[in-house]
Amino acid sequence: MAAALAAQGLHHRVQQGMPRGDVHGVAFLQLRGTWDSAPERAQYRHTHWVGLHRDGGVLSVYDCNAGSAGGWLPAEEWKSQVLAELLERHRGAPGKWAVRVVLEVLSR
């Protein structure tokens, strides 16, 4: 993903977990489940990338799986509509997830 940003001429910084304050970038999510104790490479089968935009405390998530919703959704709608469906597809997922890393796009 870092290479894709660079190919578009976008500078970014890597942040572990979800950063505080305003943010615009992409997040690498880890779906939690029975695979949590597996080697990291095996855990990657249960990950997902989304776009993030938080301005003034309002968080929106872009997900290509949002379908007719148009991609960008308020975070709570994304969790209840899109994330819930993704978690259902991962057998052994108890409904938990975490932000592994965020690639925050920096202003030029």
Spatial distance between the Cα atoms of 16 and 21, rounded to a whole number of angstroms:
14
Q: Is 55 helix (H, G, I), strand (E, B) or coil?
A: strand
Position with higher pLDDT, 103 vs 67: 103
Q: What is the pLDDT of residue 70?
A: 66
Strand ordering across the sheet containing 23-31: 12-16, 97-105, 23-31, 47-55, 58-62, 72-74
Rounded mean pLDDT of the chain? Answer: 90
What is the pTM (predicted TM-score) of this model? 0.87
Local structure of residue 91 (DSSP, 8 states): T
Tell me which residue of 96, 86, 75 sits closest to 48, measured CA to CA.
86
Average pLDDT over residues 52-56: 95
The mean pLDDT value for 72-93 works out to 87
Per-residue model confidence (pLDDT) at position 94: 81
CA 86/CA 107 separation, integer angstroms: 32
CA distance 92 to 102: 25
